[in-house]
Structure 1
């Protein structure tokens, strides 16, 4: 290892407590290499490399890591030099099980391509990329890799906007897909909707965060194998979602889109686990006849989890505006405005009666309220 690369990798240790002060080196050194590498795989690769200064036992151990976690640290120049050193010095004969690369700065496209190509050429199974670049700057091999089973992709182009999810996508081994900040275009053979996931024949888990659509207002989630679907969305990500997922068992929703929530619930026949946020329930409760509806679904529900946290001001304001639009009495409207200004509207994080509504066909389902407020997370 050259001195320049070695200094880039090890120098940051001076700013942290020495690993030898917190780890019983003798006990660890007696473990087999396989166990040691398994332990090091849970560390950021920067930290794993720094163990090379502990003793001769650790000097080259990191070069056999089956997992690389390359998260941003220091300046772009230092980070780039570190990543290049890791890819150059790691033992290329060792299969790469997992690579996670994350940087929110303006990296050179050549580095992003090198990282992605390195992963693909080493038959990576789990790949995570969170980068600021244009989608065209990612190597096409990502979207046709034969070995990827897990893909977590977050792409943030320069300026505003979302990258277009590629229509040509061939990942035959893919079982888990996480997408952040993408838009889906209407299918060539059907301009009325986008249907981007129908070719994934083994897809088990799908997570969409802050994604949208273009040239259509309908996104079709079509998969006979999908069991677990999670969606996070904002008010401005407004579009309809059609579920064609006969095997769906677990659904998690953090949504502020009122248009299709109830129609979803009516279709969830096989769902065993449902996770929703309080904001989702607030949107659902905007249907004034909701509690009178007899659900034909959710009869197999075993678990209902509701995540609560203080509602954002903008969301509360939108809820209030919708409610005001339904009120005919000026007196009632004035009362509602006064309650909103006083911070009393909506009156409860979870609307009255809505939990009983959801479990009406599964009264023995376990209901759990999870406090996700900022203070709770910090503690």
Structure 2
């Protein structure tokens, strides 16, 4: 149950009066984005029984653009993060629109929390005033899963690269979406000895991440999402020998240059399981020329290929594109066409 409904159970009987104060998993959801809800969240946290261990906090809102909120309520996100860090939370998820909050500064305590195993900061906004700066390094020794949306990474090394994840010694899964680099940064270095699952993508063409270096010797799953990357495939540390699964899904695929596309194809040439979007396959046909054909790699280890497409796309056309992609490769053991609308 979401927290608001849990508090309402206090009217059921005397025995239920204070049960809501003992929640170990807190779900805060505001579909209307009123000031009243932010005040409710603040009071809820202050009244909670702090002797009860706290496992997780999930906060979601859906602020309407140009919705004005008084300054006294703009720190509710900071209050939640500080409370989570103070009470040794294990899982923290915050998904909120932040256009109404200017100069949002996240508390250092949330990036120095010994108990956190999962952290999701989905703080989306369209104005420049909502830019969130990510710390140069993290002190999260138990962190296993990290999801970041719309953050700016600082340069943290002498070579001019941002390298914020190298200190997370237990990190297993990392999702980076719609993030940027500090203006003078040369690129993004994702360095981690335990990382096995990485998803990276952009939301618009204004991304300034032009170079990515992967120092992830145990990476097995790679997902490319959103607008196609404007940078070539990352330089790697023995990546192609371990990478088992790839998912490539993007919009406006025709904006990707041929050289960039070829570099990505050669990076993933040794994967076992591959999922491609219809747009990527269509891009291969659009760039169907002798130069492109000669550079197509051989997917020698490919066992399973899945293509995601809308149900109105012609299966025969998709199979033709797949044949073009795999012309230098042995056929995979399984091939499936999956509907984007499956499960909706």
TM-score (norm 1): 0.66
The verdict on how the C-alpha distance between 1:78 and 1:293 changes in structure 2, with shifts beyond 3 A counting, is same
Does residue 175 (structure 1) correspond to residue 122 (structure 2)? The answer is no
Identify the residue that residue 219 of structure 2 maps to in structure 1.
Answer: 248
Please report how far the alpha carbon of residue 144 of structure 1 lies from its aligned counterpart in structure 2 after TM superposition: 1.0
Identify the residue that residue 295 of structure 1 maps to in structure 2.
Answer: 297
Whether the aligned pair in 2 keeps the contact of 1:99 and 1:127 (CA below 8 Å) is: yes
Higher helix residue share: 1
Which of residues 77, 84, 96 is equivalent to 1:112?
A: 77
Higher strand residue share: 2
Highest Rg: 1 or 2?
1
Distance in 2 (alpha carbons) for counterparts of 1:53 and 1:247: 53
Distance in 1 (alpha carbons) for counterparts of 2:277 and 2:10: 45
Identify the residue that residue 308 of structure 1 maps to in structure 2.
Answer: 309
Does residue 142 (structure 1) correspond to residue 142 (structure 2)? The answer is no
Aligned pair count?
A: 297
Distance in 1 (alpha carbons) for counterparts of 2:115 and 2:328: 41
Alignment of 1:118-267 (within 5 A): 118-131=83-96, 132=98, 133=101, 136-156=104-124, 159-160=127-128, 162-191=131-160, 193-213=161-181, 214-216=183-185, 218-236=187-205, 237=207, 239-254=210-225, 255-257=227-229, 258=256, 260-267=260-267
The verdict on how the C-alpha distance between 1:183 and 1:111 changes in structure 2, with shifts beyond 3 A counting, is closer
Please report how far the alpha carbon of residue 52 of structure 1 lies from its aligned counterpart in structure 2 after TM superposition: 3.3
Alignment of 1:20-31 (within 5 A): none
Where does structure 1 lack aligned partners over 5 or more consecutive residues? 1-42, 311-343
Please report how far the alpha carbon of residue 246 of structure 1 lies from its aligned counterpart in structure 2 after TM superposition: 2.1
RMSD: 3.5
Please report how far the alpha carbon of residue 83 of structure 1 lies from its aligned counterpart in structure 2 after TM superposition: 0.7
Identify the residue that residue 338 of structure 1 maps to in structure 2.
Answer: none
Please report how far the alpha carbon of residue 182 of structure 1 lies from its aligned counterpart in structure 2 after TM superposition: 1.5
String of CA shifts for 1:73-123, please: whole Å, max 9, x gaps: 445222022212321222211111111122344472432222111111110
Where does structure 2 lack aligned partners over 5 or more consecutive residues? 64-68, 230-255
Whether the aligned pair in 2 keeps the contact of 1:180 and 1:209 (CA below 8 Å) is: yes
TM-score (norm 2): 0.72
Alignment of 1:340-351 (within 5 A): none
Identify the residue that residue 246 of structure 2 maps to in structure 1.
Answer: none
